[in-house]
Amino acid sequence: MRLWHGLLASLWTTLRQLRRRDTLEYPEQQPKLGERWRGRPILTRDPDGEERCVACELCSAVCPTHCIALEGADRPNGRRFAQSFRINFARCIYCGLCEEACPTVAIQLSPEFAFAKTERGDFVYHKEALLIDGTGKHPEYRYYDHAGVRTQALPEPRNCDPRSNLP
């Protein structure tokens, strides 16, 4: 009797789940992703349209799989930029450490998750493929406004004796 009870209970559970439909018709119906979903990394621009990346290489240093490689250069106005930026998505584990380490919020994780390739070499994305025209998650953030680049020098204090250690 106990065997029949267990068998009928499991059969009833199976039949009850047949009415429920969790399967999505994937290309036509997109799944609902969580708010903090970590998808494909992208490079963003500031509100003025310039690249946010200053080639500090913190994202490359913090990456546990070493899938990020970049080279920096200086512009004529003194600002740094990433001359080349490369991510190997075949090695990327989408951990989000690069996004957290970036002081300029240039690298952000997009909600894109479906990008399949047939060749392993096609997973290497260069700067042109990573750079988007928008600002991403932080539309009003300008790194150089927060970094103090445009600040003026403090005036020299008056009546200061350089040989004295008193104020």
- 20-73: pLDDT as tens digits: 667 778 878 888 888 888 888 999 998 888 899 999 999 999 999 999 999 999
25 within a domain of the structure (yes/no): no
- Look up the CATH number of the domain holding residue 116: 3.30.70.3270
44 is in which domain, residue-wise? 33-147
- 90-139: pLDDT as tens digits: 999 999 999 999 999 999 998 888 888 899 999 999 999 999 988 888 88
- 16-26: pLDDT as tens digits: 877 766 777 88
What distance in Å separates the CA atoms of residue 45 and residue 134, rounded to the nearest whole number? 6
What is the total count of domains within the chain? 1
What distance in Å separates the CA atoms of residue 108 and residue 90, rounded to the nearest whole number? 18
φ/ψ (deg, to 5) at 62: -85, -15
Q: Which ranges in the chain belong to alpha helices (H)? A: 2-18, 58-62, 97-101, 127-130, 143-147
11 within a domain of the structure (yes/no): no
